[in-house]
C-alpha cells in the first residue's frame, strides 16, 4: 500500500503542475510591437508617408490667427495716422496761449510787491 500511495502522489503532483503550465504554453514572451514600426512614434499626426494632415479644427484656428493678425495690423495703421502731429488750428491755439502767458508774466514782473500794495491802497483810498 505504501508503494501505491507514493505512486498516486507522484501522479497527482505532476498533473497539477502540468495543468497550470498547459494554460501558458501559447503565450508569446517579450515586448509589445506596434504597427508601423518606430517611425510612427516620432510625432502624433504624421503618417508613415511623412505628410502632416491638418484637422478642420486646426484649419479654423489658423484662419482665426490670420484674421487676428490682420486686425492688429489695421489697428497699428490707425494709431500711426492718429499720431501724425498737430493740425494748423492746434498750432495757432498753442501760439496764442503762449503769447497770453508771456504777457501775464510780463505784467507780474513789471511791479514789485511793494509797488503793487501801494497801488492797491491808492485804489482803496479813492473809493471812499
pLDDT digits (tens, 9 = 90+) for 8-63: 454 444 455 556 677 788 877 888 777 766 554 555 555 555 566 667 788 888 88
Q: Decide if 26 contacts 14 (C-beta within 8 A).
A: no
Measured CA to CA, the distance from residue 33 to residue 39 in angstroms comes to 13
Per-residue pLDDT, 127: 92
Measured CA to CA, the distance from residue 23 to residue 93 in angstroms comes to 101
Count other C-beta atoms under 10 Å from residue 16's C-beta.
Answer: 10
Given a cut of 60, whether residue 125 has pLDDT beyond it is yes
Per-residue pLDDT, 128: 77
pLDDT band at 84 (very low <50, low <70, confident <90, very high): confident
Given a cut of 80, whether residue 82 has pLDDT beyond it is no
Residue with cell 483810498: 125
Consecutive H or E run containing 11: helix 2-22
The answer for 96, left when phi > 0, alpha when psi is -120 to 50, beta otherwise, is: alpha
Looking at beta carbons, which pairs linking 96-105 to residues 24 or more positions away fall under 8 Å? none
Cell readout for 115 is 509797488
User: Tens digits of per-residue pLDDT, 96-111?
Assistant: 999 999 999 998 889 8
Q: Decide if 42 contacts 36 (C-beta within 8 A).
A: no
Amino acid at each position: 500500500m505504501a508503494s501505491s500511495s507514493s505512486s498516486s502522489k507522484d501522479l497527482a503532483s505532476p498533473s497539477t503542475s502540468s495543468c497550470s503550465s498547459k494554460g501558458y504554453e501559447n503565450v508569446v514572451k517579450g515586448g509589445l510591437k506596434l504597427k508601423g514600426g518606430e517611425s510612427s512614434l516620432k510625432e502624433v499626426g504624421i503618417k508613415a508617408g511623412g505628410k502632416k494632415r491638418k484637422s478642420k479644427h486646426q484649419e479654423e484656428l489658423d484662419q482665426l490667427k490670420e484674421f487676428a493678425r490682420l486686425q492688429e495690423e489695421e489697428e497699428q495703421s490707425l494709431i500711426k495716422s492718429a499720431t501724425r502731429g498737430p493740425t494748423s488750428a492746434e498750432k495757432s491755439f498753442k501760439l496764442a496761449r503762449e503769447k497770453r502767458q508771456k504777457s501775464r508774466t510780463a505784467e507780474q514782473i513789471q511791479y514789485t510787491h511793494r509797488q503793487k500794495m501801494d497801488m492797491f491802497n491808492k485804489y482803496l483810498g479813492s473809493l471812499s
